[in-house]
Each structure stands twice: as C-alpha cells, then as structure tokens.
Amino acid sequence: MLNINEAELKKSIVANVAEQLLREDEDLSDLVAKEVKKRIDKIFDERVTSQIQKAIDETINGSFEREYRRVNQWGDQEGPSTTLRKELEKTVTAYWNCKVNPSDGKPSSSTYSTVTRAEWLMTKICAEDFTKQMQTSVNAVTGALKDGLRNQLAQQMDAMLNGLFHIKSLQDQGKVAKPY
C-alpha cells in the first residue's frame, strides 16, 4: 500500500494553485494595465482633440474680426484700420462687379457694351440650360416627325397595294404582322 500523506498532498496542491494564480495574476495585471491605458488614451484623445479644435476655431474666427492697418515697404502704417472680413468682402464684391466683355468674360476697361462678371456668368449658365432644353425639344419634334412620316408612308403603301391587288393577303386579314 502506498504511504500518502494527505496533509502534505493538500499543502502541495494549494502551493501549486497559489503559484499558478500568482503567475496568471501578473498576466492579468498586464492586460488590465494595457486596457486602462488604452481607455485613458482614447478619452484624452477625444477631449484634447475637441478642445484643440475649439481653440483653433475661436482663433480663426477672431482673426477675421481683428483690426489691422496696412504698412508700406518701410513699415510705416498707412490707410484706415480694417479687418480680414472687410477686405474679403471688398475683394469678392469687386470680383463679381468687375466689368467684363460679354462675349468671352474677360475684364474690359471699356464702358461701352460691358456687363458685370455676375451678369455674364448667369447669362452663360442660362444659355447652356436653354441650349440643352432646345436640343431636347428638337430631338422630340424630330422623332415625332419621323414616326408621322413612317405612318403616312405605310398608309400610302397599303392604299397602292390594295389598288393593284384585289386579293386579301394574310397581312390584310390580320393573320401576319406588317413589317412597317
């Protein structure tokens, strides 16, 4: 018979289980630490990114309203104070109100027979739309004319054939479809 000491066996089993749990605990600690770090990084990224974006937006919006004065080549201020928003508005307004040649849209210094760039562009857009609409209408009318001519020719051909031949064909009796 085997001489097994139950107390020693239990003690050995408990020691092995404790050692294994401690080894697994180190692995679990690493996994938990990594997961916590990942979540903290995500929260940090979301919050910091939104705060940075907010700061950038405020800075950009503020810079459009901040007043400044132009300087000449020697650094002396000249002219009245202005803002970027006012300068952009003047530039855009000048662009659209610029007088251009109606045929090609190029700037013109002439006061005779010129239009604003905005008028020229709208005229060009409307003309392109009108051209497309006109082409569609012409295609529809041409197709209807073609179908009408085809029907007219078919009727004339039927009348001529009926005048030449006094026999009812299979087509005349409706047993065979007409090729036209």
Distances (CA, A) of 160 to 150, 154, 170, 173: 15, 10, 17, 17
Q: What is the mean pLDDT of the chain?
A: 83
pLDDT of 110 reads 80
Query: What is the rounded radius of gyration, in angstroms, for the C-alpha atoms of the chain?
Result: 45
Distance CA 124, CA 126 (A): 5
* pLDDT tens digits, 80-138: 888 888 888 888 888 888 899 888 888 888 878 888 888 888 988 888 888 888 989 88
Q: Is the pLDDT of residue 1 over 70?
A: no
pLDDT of 23 reads 66
* pLDDT tens digits, 8-21: 878 888 877 777 76
What percentage of the chain reaches a pLDDT higher than 70?
91
Distance CA 123, CA 102 (A): 9
Q: Is the pLDDT of residue 3 over 70?
A: no
- By the 10 Å C-beta count (0-12 exposed, 13-18 middle, 19+ buried), 120 is classed as buried
- Choose between 165 and 145: higher pLDDT: 145
* pLDDT tens digits, 55-84: 888 888 888 888 888 888 888 888 888 888
Length of the chain: 180
